[in-house]
Structure 1
Amino acid sequence: MRTVLSLLFTLGLVTLASGCRRPTGSAGEDAGLPSPQGAPKVPQETMTVKGSDTLVILVQRWAERFMKAHPEAKIQVTGGGSGTGIAALINGTTDIAMSSRPIKDAEKQKLRQREPHGPVELPVARDGITFYVHESNPLDTLSIAQLKGIYLGDITNWKDVGGKDAPIVVYSRENSSGTYVFVKDEVLGGEDFTVRAQTLPGTAAVVHAVAQEKNGIGYGGAAYAKGVKELKVKKEPQGEAVAPTAENIQSGTYPLSRGLYFYLPQEASGVEKSFIDYALSPEGQQIATQTGYFPVK
């Protein structure tokens, strides 16, 4: 009888140990569930991507398509601005930071205190910063010097740049935004925005405000320009007016073209690498084009 009880006890321990095995995310053959249509296995894992509001639309599309093919992968995409995403990368609360500006040297140094070999920079798409006005605004072109004057507060009436006699209502992004930093550096020459600028949380909010305000002007990524007029931009006051078309942005002819980036604390592996490979694949870059962005070369 004692032998039988001992055998049952041993079998119970084996059964208990089998029941405690992690069903997902562990190494070995059970690390991932079979993906549809013969797609490679991806470990079940929640990955976070945070940062640039400019990139949110595109990265959400990539995540939706990737998770449809790999239901065992869970990707959370949130905005908040490039600076917010990079800060999250530094403190270890996101796996990937989205940024519409290059990472700053000071940010690199902070990250290297935790990850000595970081960061890893990956260009994932291209974009052009466009300036929006109301569809009824008769102007279609401004020079960078004129835009600088408007956003510094030196030019306050549309008639001073060839428009109608009406006060200019200025909209801007919050200072955690990579788009804000890009405009400050490339248009304002590092000077501060006018105190008259109304700060809004996200490019979509800027577009909505300009669409409602006949005397408004705002800026943001080309992908968001719906229901507003995009201005052509002259690099020099007497130079050529260049429209923010796909060809001009990708070639760099448009003077306010820029790269869009993923930043990681170290080289990608596992689900992160699979997701990045998808984003940079022909299909992923085609989604970028369809969404209003431009592929990396």
Structure 2
Amino acid sequence: MSQPKSEVPALVVTLVVMVAILGGAFWFLKDRVSLGGLSGGSQPSDQTASSNQSGANQPIQGNAGTSAPMDFGGVTDVPTGQFRYGGSTAWAPIRGVASPVIQSSFPGFSLLYTESPNQAPGSGVGIQMLINGELSFAQSSRPITASERQQATQQGITLQEIPVAMEAVAVATHPNLPLAGLTLAQLAGVYTGEITNWQQVGGPNLAVVPVSRSEQGGTVQYFQEAVLEGQPLSSTVQNQSTTTAAIRFVSDTPGAIYYASAPELVGQCTVAPLPIGADPRELIPPYQSPYVPPQNCPAQRNQLNLQAIQDQSYPLTRPIFVIVRQGDPVSENPGTAYAQLLKTDSGKRLLNEAGFVAVQ
């Protein structure tokens, strides 16, 4: 029997309301399932966290846990468990390239990259977290300082540094700055405030805008010792919290100059790495010749001059270290194993891929 005409609109409205309610319930439950982590997909083993699990900014890393396993030359003393590590940002390329392979080769060796919740990452911060017991081992781009050793000793801790690889510190400018390179003395003058215009070193009539990261970083401390010979940075130096922010600043500022770990800087499309040398007639590029101009990037990128790093003809080279608490199995065992894995033939290949040269 047909419905009276007056009841049809009411029935249509009721059906529309019911469809809307059911649709809303579906999307609500869908979001709840997704937020609850039930939507599928495995979590990587080499995770990132702040020391209090607050979700601090993560460094650039590869797809951890997705690389094929490799033979690490008979290293057997690899502990099982989850181990926190962190520190120098110069290690970020290694964390991206090597850590995923180590994870897939040793699934029980779970590495959790950990940052301080209230300080930017760096060698000094990582070593301090190691002393405080917040890390199992630290990654550093400089040796342990006397004050760090003293602080550790006062707490009954002996710190040990394990050299793993050699790397370079590169210097980069805005890509449109016409400059053949800088000597170490000129570079020092730029950062101590003696050189304020690029005309003073053969460039255009343009103000120099030096840029640096926080002095907590190992790269900054190395730069002050190796280039500035202990002198402080000029008050005119612009501080940037991260290398990413610094690169963005330099690419937007025609007179800017910045220094950082070479693997983080040389392949960038928006800045130009400079040849450096003790003698103006012997400037050594941190990249392989020929130079790749910005307009060819990202189809082509500058590659690191690993030969100049290995033979140290490029003047700004330095060792990087794994730091452990000696005699503490929770620290020494995973940290030593991590360093040993990187010193195998497979580890050396991974270090080269990341832009580093393994130490013998």
TM-score, with structure 1 as normaliser = 0.80
> What is aligned with 2:320?
260
The 3-state SS of whatever aligns with 2:357 is: coil
User: Do the aligned partners of 2:210 and 2:236 also contact (CA within 8 Å) in 1?
Assistant: yes
What are the superposed Cα offsets for residues 23-77 of structure 1, whole Å, 9 maximum, x if unpaired? xxxxxxxxxxxxx899969654111111111112213432211112222332112
How many pairs are equivalent?
260
| C-alpha contact 1:52 1:82 (8 A) present in aligned 2 | yes
Q: Quote the offset at 1:296 in angstroms.
A: 1.6
- Once structures 1 and 2 are overlaid, which stretch shifts more, 164-173 or 202-211? 202-211
Q: Distance in 2 between matches of 1:134 and 1:180?
A: 20
The two structures, once aligned, show a CA RMSD in angstroms of 2.3
Would you say the 8 A contact 1:56–1:78 is kept in 2?
Answer: no
1:218 equivalent to 2:258? Answer yes
Matched, 1:277 2:317: no
Q: Aligned letter for 2:354?
A: T
Q: Which residue of 1 aligns with 2:86?
A: 50
Alpha-carbon distance change, 107 to 259 in structure 1, aligned in 2, over 3 angstroms: same
What SS class does the counterpart of residue 189 from structure 1 fall into? coil
Give the number of the structure whose alpha-carbon radius of gyration is greater.
2
Deviation at 1:162, TM superposition (A): 0.5
Give the one of 104, 113, 122 matched to 1:81: 122
Q: Any stretches of 5+ residues in structure 2 without a counterpart? A: 1-68, 116-120, 287-304
The Cα offsets for residues 81-106 of structure 1, whole Å up to 9 and x where unpaired, read as 11101111221211111111111112
Q: 1:119 to 1:159 in 2, by over 3 A?
A: same
Shift in CA distance, 239/110, structure 1 to aligned 2, threshold 3 Å: farther
Equivalent position of 1:71 in the other structure: 107
Question: Who is 2:310 aligned against?
Answer: 250
Q: What secondary structure sits across from 1:265 in the alignment?
A: strand
**1:286 counterpart = 2:326:** no
1:112 to 143, 153, 158: 153
> Between the two proteins, what is the percent identity of the paired residues?
29
Name the TM-score, length of structure 2 as normaliser.
0.67
Q: CA deviation at 1:269?
A: 5.3
2:183 corresponding residue in structure 1: 143
Distance in 2, matches of 1:162 and 1:216, equals 15
Relative to structure 1, the CA distance from residue 197 to residue 43 in structure 2 (aligned partners, 3 Å threshold; closer, same or farther) is same
Q: 1:204 to 1:149 in 2, by over 3 A?
A: same
* 1:166-177 → structure 2 map (5 Å cutoff): 166-177=206-217
* Code of the aligned partner of 1:172: S
Deviation at 1:239?
A: 5.1
Unaligned runs of 5+ in 1: 1-35
How far apart, in 1, do the equivalents of 2:126 and 2:334 lie?
19
Counterpart CA distance in 1 for 2:240 and 2:202 is: 27
1:170 touches 1:196 (CA, 8 Å); kept in 2? yes
